[in-house]
Structure 1
Amino acid sequence: MTPTTPPPPGAPRAEAVVIGASAGAVDALSALLPTLPADYPLPVMVVVHVPPDKKSVMAELFRNKCRMTVREAEDKEPLVPGTVYFAPPDYHLLVEPDRRLSLSSEEPVHYSRPAIDVLFESAADAFGAGLVGVVLTGASSDGAGGLRAVCAAGGGALVQHPDEAAVATMPRAALAACPKASVMYLEQIAARLRDLGRRP
């Protein structure tokens, strides 16, 4: 597979992207998000496992790196194309059926809040086959059930190659849960995401 492999012929048109990462997230996301253009036609939602008692610097960090608008997600705000939304610390990030974002303080999932599964599963319900889920490096199984939900809804599933991940536990769990997912290196994932934004 080459870095410029396009989405499979006949694949549904992407409407949104969800990304989950944990240990090693900053480096992995730095290989993806800054490569997307300012006019990227999809919203991108990101969950990174961050300590609940500290102010997250993820949005601020990537705001300075990216051409897209980057912000910390707020409750009840509508999704806007060309924007990266980071889940705030100690809140689950969900997508409502009307495709607005919502924040929840429900119990942690896989010991994490925000949890990747919560975002992926709710976004799969909202977008169905129009969703693309991406699981990156991390040290837990969070994201595996969520990616399975994305696959079950007919969406696209991309997983960072375990050999490249800083911590391979999360990609391996995601692949076990969703064997049909495309296994890619970060350069390839970045190219695929750009291709999704160029599709008519």
Structure 2
Amino acid sequence: MLGPSRFQAAAYEIVAIGSSAGGVKALLAVLGALPADFPVPLVVVQHLDPRHDTILADILDRRSRLRIKLAEAGDVIAPGGVYLAPPDHHLLANPGGKLSLSTVDRVKFVRPSADLLFESVAVVYGPSALACVLTGTGSDGATGAGVVKSRGGTVVAEDPETAEFKGMPQAVAKAVSVDLVLPLDDIADALVGLVEGTRTL
């Protein structure tokens, strides 16, 4: 197995992922394929039933070489850590790598909102932000992806034609000039290549 040396000059500082319907399967595919030495943190919004606690972090953690947890207010993100928005809370990135949670109004009928996560990541990380939109209904993530692009960041989307639910990736593709549109099985490799600087857009 290759050591961390291949990632010495990571081209990005954070990866933000948004998903909804069909997202558990998609997250398992992406997070399960990332290497243990992935050098940047990942922050994830998956739309969940707000009336129930979730075991999604535990399910993903068992199937991934990365450390996956439900995000808590005040968490300081660490390389190779995956921070999942808890049910009914928006997840936001802040300067200094600190996360915060919010229960402000729903955005496009959802909380957590990929839009708000992407916007916060874009403001803090600018060109070092990498946003990824996976399967889902609705258009959450499209507005936030536009902010990521406007700050010089990169947007990757699952191919709507192969996504289990094409709404979210299709909305992003219509809203912004997506840098890479890929089938689900190619996304993990693309994230690795982008972060390690071996893949160009």
Instruction: Provide the residue aligned with 2:131 in structure 1.
Output: 133
Q: Which among 168, 171, 181 is matched to residue 169 of structure 2? A: 171
Summarize the alignment of residues 5-84 of structure 1 with structure 2, pairs less than 5 Å apart: 13-84=11-82
Counterparts of 1:182 and 1:79 in 2: how far apart (Å)? 25
Q: Deviation per CA, 1:132-187: give whole Å up to 9, x if none.
A: 00001111110000111111111111010001111111111001111243211112
Q: Which runs of 5+ in 1 are unaligned?
A: 1-11
Task: Give the drift of 1:197.
Answer: 4.0
Answering whether residue 83 of structure 2 is matched by residue 85 of structure 1, we say: yes
Q: Which amino acid in structure 2 is aligned with residue 74 of structure 1?
A: E
Instruction: Provide the residue aligned with 2:6 in structure 1.
Output: none
Q: Which amino acid in structure 2 is aligned with residue 62 of structure 1?
A: L
Residue 70 of structure 1 aligns to a residue in which SS?
Answer: strand
Task: Give the drift of 1:188.
Answer: 2.0
Counterparts of 1:196 and 1:179 in 2: how far apart (Å)? 17
Counterparts of 1:99 and 1:110 in 2: how far apart (Å)? 26
Identity of matched residues, %: 40
Instruction: Provide the residue aligned with 1:106 in structure 2.
Output: 104
Q: CA RMSD in A?
A: 1.3
| TM norm structure 1 | 0.91
Residue 122 of structure 1 aligns to a residue in which SS?
Answer: helix
Q: Which runs of 5+ in 2 are unaligned?
A: 1-9
Counterparts of 1:48 and 1:26 in 2: how far apart (Å)? 8
Task: Give the drift of 1:194.
Answer: 1.6
